[in-house]
Amino acid sequence: MASPSSDLDRERRKCTFIVAELTDIINGGREKTERRRYLESIILNDPIFGNKDSHFLSREEKYSNGVMKSKRLSEVLKEHNIENPQDYKIMLNVIGESLPIGLHNSMFRPTIRDQGTDEQRKKWLPLANDYKIIGTYAQTELGHGTFIRGLETTSTYDPKREEFVLNTPTLTATKWWPGCLGKTSTHAVVMAQLYIKNQCYGLHSFIVQLRSLKDHSPMPGVTVGDIGNKVGLETNDNGFLAMDNVRIPRENMLMRHAQVYPDGTYRKPANPRLAYGAMVLVRATIVAGSATNLSKAATIAIRYSCVRRQTEAKPGELEPQIIDYVTQQHKLVPQLATAYAFAWIARYMMSTYHALHADIESGHLGALQELHGISSGLKAFTAEMSVSGIEVCRRACGGHGFSAASGLVSIYKDWLPSCTYEGENTVLYLQTARFLLKCFRQPSITPSSMSYILIKPLPGARWGVKSPEDLMKPILLVEAFEHRAQRTIKSAAQFLESQISQGLDTSEAMNRSGIEFVRCAKAHCYYFVTRNFFQSTAQLKCSKEIKESLLTLGVVFALNGIADNSGEFLEDCFVTGTQMEFVRERIQYCYKQLRPNLVGLVDAFAFADQSLNSALGAYDGDVYNRLYNWAKRAPLNKTDVHSSYHKYLRSILKSKI
């Protein structure tokens, strides 16, 4: 057996480009790389954030550990004056766990900033910034997640005492799932139906104190706790909350947009769409998370596949590295390509959001609608593909991929919820589909980034690919996705019309069209991500070798999208059977091209070993020693003979029959 480290050394010597140059490109420039390294070093050099044996902890220990890290992080942020959300996210990425103060920083403070009046900001933000209070955002209830208008929690205005009275009128109205709610937060922004003089004014946000600042005990009328074990995010105390006549001062309703005056007069917000801004930002963050998590998984699986050797190809020869099996390449290289494509779409979304931010602040909401329409689908698309890609990477590591020591298990479990939170994926695809169909029908509202929708695909259109070599041309690849998106959008529109013409009402016609809607939304997203990757990377100034590798990754992303969904391209004969054979042939050709650079391409993500927390994917490739030493530390191995022997086994083995 070859030494693992020599295997990775050899891979690194084969790489055709300078890894550090690619790292800078991924980070967005040399300065950003340096900033990243500085921020990471703060975490990496602090023993509190060490997580060597975190996999062995019980749920309760994990939570407790999370609180410990939260405390340290709040100190570190202050010590180093770190306030930029991007910086904060970089540090969270290295910590690699969902912290019980996560929502304080990602939701509680931003909500007060966005929805609070100047006085409210002045009162609450300093308290929150200094962690004198810790807050969360409580929206979802036991009975309602997707349908926000159906939330049942009430906040009734009492003009006599100038207070709101919050109640959980039914079991299903219990707040359920909000992160950091169960045991940590002292306060929450609670979404509740506003009632004034028996009239309901719909959902509004209220700051409610949940726990005493003296001893952390729940406030009178507040029932609060952890919702119990779940798939991932075990460090986080996702919680429940029931309120029984909990009174808060009138000033605790966030009143930047809507107001309730002391006498109970209500003034509605100028534009209810304003709340979209925060949602778009959260979704852009999920898109970025999809890229990061899939990159981590690809790093682990590709390094391991270069170290792992199995099945002698020729008697007496060294067993091949498993990365040299084409079936293994067909699992991993597409994930690597997807990780790269997602990194660039995340950057696109973030920069578009920031570019439009000024417009949004000043009330110009046209672009917001566009961004909302696109971001819904891209959140769903990237979350879905990254989660399934992480699982492909995990399974590609065989038996060892099941071990918590692989690191892949926790990446998967902690990222899995991204398919459901902040908008369930199917619901989001449907939102994007409705936006696409709206553009399709009303050219005037179609933004320029979506103008392709307006070009009606020709019924007899054929793909201009004449040879496998043609498949290296981005313009032809993008054309295929464009055509597929146009065709499926058109066909979804026709399907909807046919349902309506059968006499169904709109809501049922929309329901019946759901499958077609999801299909066209996915087609649009694949097009959008492919186009963006080719366009953005074409503009890069970098070495020829890096450019070539990025182009080939883009081709892999595109060609696998065609091969995996081949029916959608073949159905109207846009692509022929022969061209599909070219596609499959070229996919293998690209794997071969990328083979020498695979380790370089994952090294370029530059994840610290600690942030991967993986015996299989560490930089030095010393897989087997790490697995063995880790296992020896497992709690079950504390004694040679486990206590259950004395309790149970002994009497089975020694029974006389």
Residues 291-320 that bind a copy of itself (CB under 8 A): 309-314, 319
**Cβ count within 10 A of residue 503:** 8
CB 332 within 8 A of CB 393: yes
CB 26 within 8 A of CB 343: yes
Residue 360 beta carbon to a copy of itself: minimum distance, rounded to whole angstroms: 27
Annotated ligand binding at 621? The verdict is no
Residues 445-504 that bind a copy of itself (CB under 8 A): none
Kindly tell me which of 6 and 351 has the beta carbon lying closer to a copy of itself.
Answer: 6
Residue 91 beta carbon to a copy of itself: minimum distance, rounded to whole angstroms: 17
Q: Binding mask 504-533 vs a copy of itself (x if CB under 8 A, - otherwise)?
A: -x-xx--xxxxx--x---------------
Residues 82-141 that bind a copy of itself (CB under 8 A): 130-134, 140
Decide: helix, strand or coil at residue 345: helix
Q: Are strands 187-196 and 135-138 parallel, antiparallel or unpaired?
A: parallel
- The CA R_g of the chain, rounded to the nearest whole Å, is 27
Residues 557-586 that bind a copy of itself (CB under 8 A): 563, 565-573, 577, 580, 584
Among 189, 192, 180, 175, which residue's Cα sits nearest to residue 125?
189
Tell me if residue 568 is catalytic: no
Kindly tell me which of 351 and 651 has the beta carbon lying closer to a copy of itself.
Answer: 651
Decide: helix, strand or coil at residue 190: strand
Of residues 163, 251, 319, 422, which has the active-site annotation? Answer: 422
**Cβ count within 10 A of residue 83:** 10
Kindly tell me which of 213 and 455 has the beta carbon lying closer to a copy of itself.
Answer: 213
Residue 280 beta carbon to a copy of itself: minimum distance, rounded to whole angstroms: 21
How far separated are the first and last CA of the chain, in Å rounded? 49
Phi, psi (degrees; rounded to nearest 5) at 18 = -90, 115
- Asked whether position 146 contacts a copy of itself by CB under 8 A, the answer is yes
Q: Binding mask 245-274 vs a copy of itself (x if CB under 8 A, - otherwise)?
A: ------------------------------
Kindly tell me which of 101 and 253 has the beta carbon lying closer to a copy of itself.
Answer: 101
**Cβ count within 10 A of residue 276:** 17
CB 28 within 8 A of CB 343: no
- Asked whether position 227 contacts a copy of itself by CB under 8 A, the answer is yes
Which distant-in-sequence residues (6+ apart) come within 8 Å of 375 by Cβ? 279, 280, 283, 284, 287, 349
Residues 1-30 that bind a copy of itself (CB under 8 A): 1
Annotated ligand binding at 23? The verdict is no
CB 224 within 8 A of CB 211: yes
- Asked whether position 632 contacts a copy of itself by CB under 8 A, the answer is yes
- Asked whether position 182 contacts a copy of itself by CB under 8 A, the answer is yes
- Asked whether position 340 contacts a copy of itself by CB under 8 A, the answer is no
Residues 381-440 that bind a copy of itself (CB under 8 A): 395, 398-399, 401-405, 409, 416-417, 419-421, 424-426, 430
Residue with tokens 């009239």: 199
- Asked whether position 544 contacts a copy of itself by CB under 8 A, the answer is no
**Cβ count within 10 A of residue 382:** 29
Residue 145 beta carbon to a copy of itself: minimum distance, rounded to whole angstroms: 5
Residues serving a catalytic function are: 422
